[in-house]
Chain A
Amino acid sequence: GENVEQHPSTLSVQEGDSAVIKCTYSDSASNYFPWYKQELGKRPQLIIDIRSNVGEKKDQRIAVTLNKTAKHFSLHITETQPEDSAVYFCAAVPDDKIIFGKGTRLHILP
């Protein structure tokens, strides 16, 4: 079955700097790659997603890139702000279910 690896598990960046979280997947049939953000004590919420027919997608300060050949995709957050502090989960969808990575805890340092 699909296996999603996510790195790093913890990331600290200075406010205003950029943050990058990377994921790899194993199943070449995966065709949908969402990213979820979970603030402390809250439910996960979708922040951006990308489908396999697209290489890059942007939404204001966040962007996701997908390399199907290498089977990896990344989340980029620019001009980080305190409200970006959260746990971020990548995921891959090979068939009828979503498989999540183990998460990255992002700390924004003042």
Chain B
Amino acid sequence: DAEITQSPRHKITETGRQVTLACHQTWNHNNMFWYRQDLGHGLRLIHYSYGVQDTNKGEVSDGYSVSRSNTEDLPLTLESAASSQTSVYFCATSRGWPEKLFFGSGTQLSVL
């Protein structure tokens, strides 16, 4: 079955380190999104992409970057991890726009 896979499920890192979270989908959806989820803030958009070589900043993009070299993957990189980036990160895709989002299972990131 087509799906969206995030890895790792859990990650602990130290402040200042570079971290990359993976998101891979087999639906062939053009649209991919990264959200972070924090208590009291809901789901906040970090970056999104509507196709290969296309990337856009969301509400909370500072300290994060993405690149889209193929349809299937949208890795999220924290250039220099900070404790404020401790969160649950969700990747999502959609077939069209605006349409239903399909979420991955999430990555719990702890920055110590």
Residues of A within 8 A of B (CB): 1, 6, 31-32, 34, 36, 43-46, 49, 89, 93, 96-103
Distance in angstroms between the alpha carbons of A53 and B101 in the assembled complex: 20
17 more A-B residue pairs beyond the given contacts A93-B98, A97-B33, with a C-beta to C-beta distance below 8 A:
A1-B59, A6-B42, A43-B103, A43-B105, A44-B103, A89-B42, A96-B50, A96-B97, A97-B45, A97-B56, A97-B58, A98-B101, A99-B45, A101-B42, A102-B41, A102-B42, A103-B43
Q: Is the CB of A98 within 8 A of B98?
A: yes
Q: Is the CB of B42 within 8 A of A103?
A: yes
Measured between beta carbons, the chain B residues less than 8 angstroms from A6 are: 42
Nearest neighbor of B6 in chain A, beta-carbon distance: A43
B40-57 CB contacts (< 8 Å) to partner A:
40-45, 48, 50, 56
Distance in angstroms between the alpha carbons of A8 and B52 in the assembled complex: 39
Nearest neighbor of A102 in chain B, beta-carbon distance: B42
The 9 A-B pairs of least Cβ separation, nearest first, read A102-B42, A32-B98, A43-B103, A93-B98, A100-B43, A46-B100, A103-B42, A100-B42, A44-B103
Q: Is the CB of A102 within 8 A of B105?
A: no
Measured between beta carbons, the chain B residues less than 8 angstroms from A32 are: 98
A77 to chain B, nearest CB (A): 19
Measured between beta carbons, the chain B residues less than 8 angstroms from A96 are: 48, 50, 56, 97
Distance in angstroms between the alpha carbons of A96 and B42 in the assembled complex: 19
Q: Is the CB of A102 within 8 A of B56?
A: no
B99 to chain A, nearest CB (A): 8
Distance in angstroms between the alpha carbons of A33 and B104 in the assembled complex: 21
Measured between beta carbons, the chain B residues less than 8 angstroms from A100 are: 35, 42-44
Max chain A Cβ within 10 angstroms of own Cβ: one of B33, B40, B43, B58:
B43
Q: Which of A36, A43, A93 contacts B104 (CB 8 A)?
A: A43
Distance in angstroms between the alpha carbons of A96 and B32 in the assembled complex: 12
